[in-house]
Structure 1
């Protein structure tokens, strides 16, 4: 599909033009949008940038170029659109104290899926203590360890892609989906760790990790909120969950003004997120943390609706990526995220109602991963089955 009469003649040209377009959009946001008042004036002014982000993935032809790269651009521009929306209200990555004063930093953060890690008000390399060598190798955020991990993951990814391409006709569908799940994780983490290594080496900053050992999650809530694709979780929290929760709670009799209430929601959400991560990094398990908080937790209908809205928006955005790849909207992808939103809500309600009835960590992890994979096999992967072999082959044969 040609965008405004243009279609890239090669995937290299597409990446070059795509980067140029999102760079222009970032420049527009930096020098034009930020001049307007916070709120709806900025939102109206940012419409051209949002339109660019919507059109960028369509500069690739499905017949001759990398569908996978175009799909990746769908996700990148989706995250960039969220960052622009947050910028309109004076928050998010574009308002980071390290980013705001200098345009190149602003452009990099707005163009790529990255959030700069902060220590108080100072942005810098963040020192971390590790309990073991294995912990250091798997979690170190120094540029050389990030690069080393990305090399190892690239080798494993290439092997899995080779198995997929060579055995496509003989592999059971459930095995194919399992391999594709691992490929998705390896591809995303490799790409993002390379980006983090570059930022650490050239700018001396630490990028927030996007994944935190998702395969050891003890609950769906932990999987989606604290371990899998944390940047998207953060964006959804700030652009969907908090605003919806704020709107639902506006009728409550509170002394705060609307802006103060929304700021409070943002701050509480961020504090809770950071507290949970600090608890886990210090050796306190998610189960221990939940038990400590259990006495104060009550079922909150407003939070339930905000949670379901977040999963619904995530599903719709992923459905858009599927539509880009297949030109067909089955809504199974959206259904996958709605099912998981309902499951997280039921899981949370169970923990509140029966705080002492919980399986062991091993059993919880097996149940969480089994449910996630079975629902992915049922709903997530079928809409893109027709493209798995094509994308695997394209990535395997990628040449510069």
Structure 2
């Protein structure tokens, strides 16, 4: 049975897993080069010239992968997060700008994972404070994720529109759990407390609350200095400081839409239909309108909190079902993703069975 265990492990290491390891080894070697270059070069122009080959490499590396989970997460971590962080580092900005005080392991973790180290030192007696509620929170979400997987077994009895609604929750839970695992891995590697990536987005009271303070906060923190603030400064001289946030918001959502098109291309290798970009431009327009209305009423009137929550969640869900999920379904991302989860479950069962048999007398 020892031979059977080796056979299972060999199967697991072949193909996509081997490509995944090769891609990330290339990424870490490239980031090590950037770490050294950042220490040696102080000029923004010199840094940018040194980083651009790595930025191009990170855009193409996810194309080496075909798994929905591997290609999607690698594309998000490298082509989006790492490239934007390196571009900020070139101009002495962003979470990597403290390179002289960052050790190489921390640099590698912060560069390619959706985390940001806290600026304030956490006292030892506070370490682990609140960890129990977090474990319960993620435990409940993990159980809901597994429950949704069981629901898919009866998809032939469920209305297609309801299935799409379930996909929305599936995507949110999947992202939350993947980012939580990445943060936990980083916590174990660098021993630091990390800022949360989501803040219960289903409690959002407005689009401004959803996109600015609750959904994928790392992306918000990256797009603000790289897109929002430069456009804000430029547009202030054109339309005035009062209305300058509006074109800045639209620029952020346009860039986000393009990056999501790239991620979806990694998932299915299907020519973009630009529905995802339209989704983000629609949300950007509505958010800009919301900001304009708030400025006009100047706090004299606002929606009741329960109504704001209901309308926000409904708008996000309806527009996602209309524009965001169809491209994912056309490339069969849902079917392939579920098949990958089932394959991992089968692999774990085989490993446990092989280990149990090996350990038995």
TM-score range, shorter chain: 0.7 to 0.9
Aligned position for 1:17: 22
Matched, 1:82 2:84: yes
TM value normalised by structure 1 = 0.76
In the other structure, the counterpart of 1:375 is 319
The one-character-per-residue Cα deviations of 1:350-391 (angstroms, maximum 9, x if unpaired) are 112223232210010000001111111110101111321221
Deviations 1:128-166 (A, max 9, x none): 9xxxxxxx9xxx653x654554444323212212312x1
List gaps (5 residues or longer) in structure 1. Answer: 1-7, 129-135, 253-297
Q: Deviations over 1:281-317 (max 9, x none)?
A: xxxxxxxxxxxxxxxxx97332211110000000000
Q: Find the aligned partners of 1:126 and 1:40 in 2 and give their Cα distance.
A: 44
Q: Match of 1:328?
A: 271
- What's the CA shift for 1:94? 1.0
Match of 2:287 in 1: 344
Aligned equivalent of 2:155? 168
Residue 118 of structure 1 corresponds to 119
Residue pair 1:146, 1:194 contacting (<8 A) in 2 also: no
Query: Match of 1:294?
Result: none
2:243 equivalent in structure 1: 301
What is the distance in 2 between the residues matched to 1:229 and 1:313?
15
Please state how far the C-alpha of 1:127 moved relative to its aligned partner.
5.0
Q: 1:93 aligns with which of 92, 95, 99?
A: 95
Residue 106 of structure 1: how far off its partner (Å)? 0.6
More relative contact order, 1 or 2 (CA 8 Å, 6+ apart)? 2
User: 2 CA distance for matches of 1:22 and 1:178?
Assistant: 36
2:244 is paired with a residue of what secondary structure?
helix
Matched-pair contact (CA < 8 Å) for 1:146–1:193: no
Normalising by structure 2, report the TM-score: 0.83
Query: How big is the shift at 1:198?
Result: 3.8
Corresponding residue number in structure 2 for 1:358: 302
How has the CA–CA distance of structure 1 residues 204 and 126 changed in structure 2, closer, same or farther, with 3 Å as cutoff? farther
> Which structure has the highest helix share of the two?
2
State the match for 1:155 in structure 2: 143
Give me the CA root mean square deviation: 2.6
The answer on whether the counterparts of 1:21 and 1:52 sit within 8 Å (CA) in structure 2 is: no
List gaps (5 residues or longer) in structure 2.
1-12, 349-361
Corresponding position of 2:336: 390
How many residues are paired up?
A: 329
Partners in 1 of 2:74 and 2:281 — Cα distance? 23
- Aligned residue number for residue 311 of structure 1: 253
Residue 389 to residue 225, structure 1, CA distance change in 2 (3 Å): same
Instruction: Give the equivalent residue in structure 1 for 2:166.
Output: 179
Q: 1:126 to 1:192 in 2, by over 3 A?
A: farther
Q: What is the CA deviation profile of residues 306-340 of structure 1, one whole-angstrom value per residue up to 9, with x for unaligned ones? A: 11000000000001112222312000000000000
